[in-house]
Amino acid sequence: MVLMLKFFSEDEFIQILRKHGYKATPQRLTIFEVLKSKDHPSAEEIYEAIKKRFPSISLTTIYQTLHLFSELGIINELGFSDNRSRFDTNTNPHINVICPVCGKISDLEDELVVELWDSLEKKLGKKPIKHRFDVYAICDTCENKIQAGRVRIEVKNI
């Protein structure tokens, strides 16, 4: 059984902000919408998508907003060794399957993952504050390119 992806709705998002004394500004709402429309985007990708609507917004503001969302538990920041963080709106226990060639990240949600988290929680005797589980596998698109001899494997993002 594959579980439904869990993202915060816009109403829940606004409530979380208000509960912590933050306003749901048009910028914050748009950043949240862009986050949900992309798969594990980087801050730069969000910036590119948003600056058309808010030409005066800076990359620093995007970073600050993403760090705020992450602190409030709305998203998870996935830091990597190349310093390019990716942002995950799926707050359910899941495995991030990362393509080491193109960097694409897809979520794997499975009953097994939920069972693993449940048993980890029991072993720890407490609820973990945060979770992150990454698995590296070459995606289908890159696999096809490699088979066609069009790319050489250049492993990054690990």
Q: Which residues bind Zn ion (CB under 5 A)?
A: 88, 90, 96, 99, 101-102, 104, 107, 139, 142
Cβ nearer to Zn ion, comparing 61 with 90: 90
Maximum Cα interatomic distance, the chain, rounded to a whole number of Å: 54
What are the distances in angstroms from CA 21 to CA 16, 24, 30, 36? 9, 10, 19, 23
**Residue keyed to tokens 């933050």:** 22
Cβ nearer to Zn ion, comparing 21 with 149: 149
Cβ nearer to Zn ion, comparing 34 with 99: 99
Structure tokens at 42: 């980087």
Shortest distance in whole angstroms from residue 57 CB to Zn ion: 25
The total of other beta-carbon atoms located within 10 Å of residue 98's CB is 23
Task: Give helix 59-71 / helix 43-50 axis angle, nearest 10°.
Answer: 120
Cβ nearer to Zn ion, comparing 65 with 89: 89
Shortest distance in whole angstroms from residue 150 CB to Zn ion: 12
Q: Residue 23, SS3?
A: coil
Shortest distance in whole angstroms from residue 116 CB to Zn ion: 15
Shortest distance in whole angstroms from residue 19 CB to Zn ion: 24
